[in-house]
Amino acid sequence: MNEFFVHPLADVHTADIGAGSRIWQFVVVLANARIGRDCNICSHCLIESDVVIGDRVTVKSGVQIWNGLRIANDVFIGPNVSFSNDKFPKSGNRDFECLETVVDEGASIGAGATILPGIHIGANATVGAGAVVTKNVPAGATVVGNPARIHQLNS
């Protein structure tokens, strides 16, 4: 018996999934992706192969987690958040530099936010819904807007 749940309509190609995690319908997870314990991956998500997701992470519907993303424990990713991993995308370019994006422990990313490649979102930071994050977000900061700017900095 599996220690995690995969909906029968999901397409999961990794066994590196922690106990208690739930993967819902119409989710695609590629081989070699790592998903921690007690995660909830909601419907209509894509997780590529060079991805690490920590424990107790929630990924709401409509999120694509591309190669190079590192998501720490206790992170919330709202619906339809857009990550990217290529600063200069061109159709058919297989030689692009895949930039690593890091989301530290306890961070929350609001619905519809856009996170550009190579960004570091600090521990317990909050990205407001619809924000376009073009620069690193300090730990404890709340950022909003386009481009995202610090609205509040908690110590």
| Mean pLDDT, the chain, integer | 96
The pLDDT confidence band at residue 102, using thresholds 50, 70 and 90, is very high
| Own/partner long-range contacts of 14-20 (Cβ < 8 Å, ≥24 apart) | 14/49, 18/55
Give the amino acid at 88. Answer: F
Query: What mean pLDDT comes out for the span 94-103?
Result: 93
Looking at the DSSP assignment, which residues form a beta bridge with residue 70?
52, 102
Q: Look-up: residue for tokens 């900095």?
A: 153
pLDDT of residue 17: 98
Residue 122 pLDDT greater than 80, yes or no: yes
pLDDT of residue 140: 97
83: left (phi over 0), alpha (psi -120 to 50) or beta: beta
Looking at the chain, the whole-number percentage of residues with pLDDT higher than 70 is 98
Query: What mean pLDDT comes out for the span 77-85?
Result: 97
Query: What mean pLDDT comes out for the span 112-132?
Result: 98
The pLDDT confidence band at residue 152, using thresholds 50, 70 and 90, is confident
How many Cβ atoms from other residues are within 10 Å of residue 48's Cβ? 19
Residue 62 pLDDT greater than 90, yes or no: yes
- Candidates 97, 138, 91; CA nearest to 117 is 97
Q: Give the tens place of pLDDT for each residue, 35-58.
A: 999 999 999 999 999 999 999 999
- Euclidean distance between CA atoms 108 and 113, whole angstroms: 11
- Euclidean distance between CA atoms 101 and 121, whole angstroms: 8
The per-type count for the chain, helices as H runs and strands as E runs, is 0, 21
- Euclidean distance between CA atoms 112 and 82, whole angstroms: 7
